[in-house]
Amino acid sequence: MPSEIENSSQWVNAAAELVIAGKKLKVEMPVPAGPVRLSDMLPFFRYLTDSFVGLAEENARAAGATVSCKKGCGACCRQLVPIAEIEARHLEELVGRLPEPRRSEIRARFERARQRLQAAGLLDALLEPGQIAEEAVVPLGLAYFGLGIACPFLEDESCSIHAERPLACREYLVVSPAEHCASPSAESIEPVKLVVHTAKAIRAMTAAWSSHGVRWVPLVLAASWAETHADTTPLRPGVEWVREAFARVTGRPV
């Protein structure tokens, strides 16, 4: 049972059998029966993402490809990672629960990253992600990657919050040689092909229900975003969030 929602006394089983690119996928997980906030559904969204990514990995292997990503290879953890604001808040809470001195170390990494972005002239744009035009995202991402700022959670080139890493991190896998990830380009990087883009769907769902209405928040600014933006998503029964999530990831009406 997900620990993030221990206060809920009643759970219902959310189950569905989906057909994705001709393959059957059964998903099943307990979710809160009563009203909860969207952020309380993160364990379910992680499970859903992992299920779809697992299917995509299976397809890649069946086609003869090898997934290059493994522990100790964190080149992609210097990219600009888009997360939903519910994930930003979750990461801030996670850091707040860490014992000292680890908590202060991680907070200091966030602060150093912020200072690097300010010095490079990228901070103002990234603090207002809602104002960034779609066509400006890629150039901004390249400029960000050029700074080589490691994610504050990257340690010994591995993710120190692997079980709770954001949905976008879960979806990013490549079948191109790992050494290409240090200088990625559209030609040199071949991602594992996803049929279902759960992270993007959950970011859109969060934006639709939050009064802040931003499509994404940069992971590297998660801490400061969470401090200045309260959770304004409504309370809804867990199954209603699940129904909407299924509709958004499959593109079918609720």
The residues of the shown chain that bind ligand SF4, judged by CB under 6 A, are: 74, 77, 81, 151, 153-154, 159, 161, 165-166, 169
The interaxial angle of helices 198-209 and 85-97, nearest 10 deg, is 90
Query: Residue 97 in contact with residue 3, Cβ under 8 Å?
Result: no
The token pair that represents 108 in the structure block: 């200091």
Give the residue ranges of DSSP H helices in the chain: 42-62, 85-97, 102-120, 123-127, 134-147, 167-171, 198-209, 222-228, 238-250
Q: Which is it for strands 236-237 and 35-36: parallel, antiparallel or unpaired? A: antiparallel
- Residue in 8, 99, 5, 93 with CA at minimum distance from that of residue 43: 5
Residue 159, strand partner residues: 154
Residues 6+ apart with CB under 8 A from 142: none
Size (the chain), residues: 254
The token pair that represents 241 in the structure block: 């969030």
The token pair that represents 72 in the structure block: 């100790």
